[in-house]
Structure 1
Amino acid sequence: MLREIAERVNFTFSLQEIPPDGYWGELINGTWVGMLGQVVRKEKDFIINGFAVVLDRYQAADFTVPYFTDSYSITLKVPPPFPRWLSVVQPFSRWVWVAVILSLIVLTIIYHILIRNDHKLVYNNKYDVVSSLVWLSRNLLYQASPNIPSAPGCRVFLACWWIAGLVLSTSYMSNLIAFLTVPSQTSRITTLEELANSKIKIHMLDYGNFVPGFLWSSKEPVLSKLGEKLSLLPDYDKVIAAFEEGAGVLEASAYSQFLFITRQRIKTSYAVEEKLFPNFVAWAFQKGSPYKLVFDRYLERMTHSGLVEYWHRSVVDKFQHSTGQLAGSEFSGEMTSLRPLTLENLQGAFIVLGLGTVLAILVLLIEVITNRC
């Protein structure tokens, strides 16, 4: 943006990337420090960093028209997916499983009572409640029923059960396909209240007390809790190291995205949906600067034409392409190839088979011991 304006207006410039004290702009004991302090003392002409426009800064310097809206977000590490063996139970929620099991128990008792005088048409072996449970369960496993009792009311009862069983079985099979092929993600934190009530610590680069002070002095319970969790670190290497250990990272939303892309953590991180401190971003000039209006005109044109957003997206995409972070995504132009299911996908079925085999052997041993005694 600065290069484009310099070419149009015909001026040269030199950049200072980091101020001597490392701060952006903070009022301490009535004196401005950081980048804004250099502008206030007329050591620098203006600041092109994404500077949030707030009252005390606005009174100390002249700000251009806002060219960007930003906020502060907290980035967390993506939680690991559920174990793949749980895929056999994940198609239904906990309460659906409870409802299915309780319904099957109650219906088994009702069915057992209904066919008490007509059980020989159904069972080849012993007539008991377990046999009734097994017989009714055939419907859930797509097994046909060769004999139907002629007891009064039984056929209406079975018709309703078969319709319900068809819906349950179809729903389970449909969801099971998805859970077998795609790992299900654990729930993520989406609100600041959830984060405040969690045990996750929050870290931020120490470049001033602008945002930390806002949290530390807040009377709002959620923001106050976040302030208690917050600690400042001297450089981004330590911030990323804390992130890898499970801490959250508080940073301006736009720069946070760029930070995690450049550190190649974009696939292992996500931002909490609820943001902090929404603000306008502008450039800061010396108070009474005569050429601020010239910059206003060009920044306004760049913003309205979409160039600011386009340049930002282009820089991010170019970096991701150069580091291979977009490989295999929709940007690469390659379709994901089909692959066969592996043991990792189907481990839940083999675990159920193994547990069922062990249980069957235990029951067999108990029956053998009982018969001998």
Structure 2
Amino acid sequence: MTFHSPQRCLAEHGMARPVGEVLENPKVLRGLTENPSSFRFPDGALVTVAAVQWRPHIILNTDAEGRYVVTGPMANILNVFAQTMNFTYNVVSPPDSAWGAELPNGTWTGMMGQVTRKEADIALGPFGITYNRALRVDFTESLFYDPRAILSMKGTPEINPWGFLFPLTGTVWYVVAAALAVVWLTTLLVGRRPGELVSLRWTGEVFLQNVRVFLNQGLTGIVLGQGGLMVLLSWVIVSAVVFWSYNGALISLLAVRNIPQPIQTLRDLLDDHSITLVLLPMTILTDTISKMKSGEFRELHELKFVGRIRYEPPKAFKGLLETKVRTDRYSLQSTSLTLDLLIADDFLKTQSCDFYKTRQTFFTTSHCIIGQKDSPLFAAINHRVRAVVESGLYLHWLMKEIPAITNCRYTPSIITVKEPLSFANLWGLFLVLGVGLLLATQVFFLEMCCSPRKINSP
């Protein structure tokens, strides 16, 4: 299918009359009402279309004469309408570049305001459906469903100095400690003691023997008897398997670098008071959260009262990605597909995946075109919307706008490196050694000061 620019359409049809005037003709209106799926304006019509830039759905530019020109998937939909219904169109854009919000006096701003004031016949948006909007405008059938997410900058790869603890999970460490205690106590019960007496020194030597076995440090000649040797044998087998598993996992973990991606849910964002969130102004999300009485959405709305929300139009997001999000503690909130586009554009420019989206998505909405309330045009438009969606054309057009959409979608949060071990990898081990030496020194001085001294008889 070949799509023509609005300028070409206008040139072909000359001075077409506005669609509102054309629909005053009873014959035209009857043809539209009775045959919406095949209707064409007999002598053409001029439709005024409101639009703002919102990639990947719509790109808004101006031509050499200063007129607005739209391209992208929404423009393709508009051209389907224009060619199959035989109308031309001109594009207008609201001064605030917003979808629109309802003011206290009942009027609307943005594209909603242009449609409700009949300055535009339709607005491309695409728009999410809300009760207040539906009272003032009509919605087409949905073109696309998309949730919201949050985009943030990845951290730099970090070395974890406590990585030597991670080859075993916390549960395994607890079980090993419990097993060591059980083996020690069982040995004390069933083991043969020197002189058949239990001494504090012997119990300590048995415990240290079990620790040496776990660390593969060999055995000593402690008297244990047959029962004690059986317990020791079982402990040797368990210790060997755990120790070998630990060695293999440790080698891998010392080569791992963690890439911090701390903002994975809306709660993570709310709790991190250092982050400023960038939002689109006057959207279905901002309108909805302003009416919430409690919950995370209410907390999100209240961020603006503490200076943690910044409202920017869609065209500013790319610049903010390069400046504020990359270098400062800023995050962007938008639909998931828009964030995919920003990440893909950055990848094509830098060949690296420096940003990520939250795993949690929220506030899924439909994407629709709006028009004047009770407009007879919408019966014909909905037939065409349905055909485009069911054929998969709209999704196809969207994916063509984001050629690198999957390149950074499944990037790992950890990476492996091949480099010599440094002090940064191992300072946790040296800290453990230092604490052990400090405790040993303290015990030594306590023995020197507090141990009883023998008095020699004359």
Amino acid at match of 1:298: R
* Further displaced range: 86-95 or 232-241: 232-241
- 1:206, 1:117 → 2: CA distance? 78
Amino acid at match of 1:292: F
Pair 1:283–1:183, CA change in 2 (3 A): same
Pair 1:167–1:79, CA change in 2 (3 A): farther
Task: Find the counterpart in structure 2 of residue 293 from structure 1.
Answer: 379
- 1:360, 1:282 → 2: CA distance? 70
- 2:438, 2:296 → 1: CA distance? 55
- 2:88, 2:202 → 1: CA distance? 94
1:1-373 to structure 2, matched below 5 A, reads 1=73, 2-3=75-76, 6=79, 9=84, 12-16=88-92, 18-28=93-103, 29-78=105-154, 83-94=159-170, 96-101=172-177, 103-104=179-180, 107-108=183-184, 111=187, 117=193, 131-142=205-216, 145=219, 151-184=225-258, 188-199=262-273, 201-208=275-282, 210-230=284-304, 231-234=309-312, 236=316, 240=321, 243=325, 244-263=327-346, 267-276=354-363, 278-318=364-404, 340-343=418-421, 348=425, 352=429, 356=433
- 1:132, 1:150 → 2: CA distance? 9
> Residue 285 of structure 1: CA displacement?
2.2
Q: Deviations over 1:52-95 (max 9, x none)?
A: 11122223222211011123333344456653322211223445
Q: Deviations over 1:237-296 (max 9, x none)?
A: 6854554533443323322332344355963332250413x2211111233444433432
Amino acid at match of 2:389: T
> Residue 315 of structure 1: CA displacement?
1.9
Q: Deviations over 1:324-355 (max 9, x none)?
A: x66x989xxxxxxx9745326x9545763696
Query: Do the aligned partners of 1:257 and 1:266 also contact (CA within 8 Å) in 2?
Result: no
Percent pairwise identity? 21
Amino acid at match of 1:40: T
Query: Do the aligned partners of 1:233 and 1:239 also contact (CA within 8 Å) in 2?
Result: no
Amino acid at match of 2:79: A
SS of match in other structure, 1:220 = coil
Query: Do the aligned partners of 2:193 and 2:224 also contact (CA within 8 Å) in 1?
Result: no
> Residue 39 of structure 1: CA displacement?
2.2
- 2:192, 2:281 → 1: CA distance? 80
- 2:312, 2:78 → 1: CA distance? 34
- 1:353, 1:21 → 2: CA distance? 60
- 2:216, 2:179 → 1: CA distance? 18
SS of match in other structure, 1:85 = coil
Q: Which runs of 5+ in 1 are unaligned?
A: 120-126, 331-337
Q: Deviations over 1:178-217 (max 9, x none)?
A: 4233334567454444544453545233521642342233
Pair 1:215–1:364, CA change in 2 (3 A): closer
- 2:87, 2:114 → 1: CA distance? 21
Amino acid at match of 1:342: P
Query: Do the aligned partners of 1:148 and 1:155 also contact (CA within 8 Å) in 2?
Result: no
Q: Deviations over 1:23-78 (max 9, x none)?
A: 21222121121012112223233222221111222232222110111233333444
- 1:348, 1:65 → 2: CA distance? 57
Task: Find the counterpart in structure 1 of residue 30 from structure 2.
Answer: none
TM-score (norm 1): 0.72
Pair 1:280–1:181, CA change in 2 (3 A): same
SS of match in other structure, 2:254 = helix
- 1:66, 1:60 → 2: CA distance? 18
* Further displaced range: 48-57 or 36-45: 36-45
SS of match in other structure, 2:342 = helix
Query: Do the aligned partners of 1:72 and 1:253 also contact (CA within 8 Å) in 2?
Result: yes
SS of match in other structure, 2:95 = coil
TM-score (norm 2): 0.61
Pair 1:348–1:114, CA change in 2 (3 A): farther
> Residue 177 of structure 1: CA displacement?
4.5
RMSD of the TM alignment (CA)? 4.4
Query: Do the aligned partners of 2:257 and 2:417 also contact (CA within 8 Å) in 1?
Result: no
Pair 1:287–1:362, CA change in 2 (3 A): closer
Pair 1:80–1:156, CA change in 2 (3 A): farther
Q: How many residues align?
A: 351
Q: Which runs of 5+ in 2 are unaligned?
A: 1-72, 196-200, 449-458
- 1:133, 1:312 → 2: CA distance? 67
Query: Do the aligned partners of 2:139 and 2:370 also contact (CA within 8 Å) in 1?
Result: yes
Query: Do the aligned partners of 1:5 and 1:295 also contact (CA within 8 Å) in 2?
Result: no
> Residue 110 of structure 1: CA displacement?
5.3
Query: Do the aligned partners of 2:269 and 2:275 also contact (CA within 8 Å) in 1?
Result: no
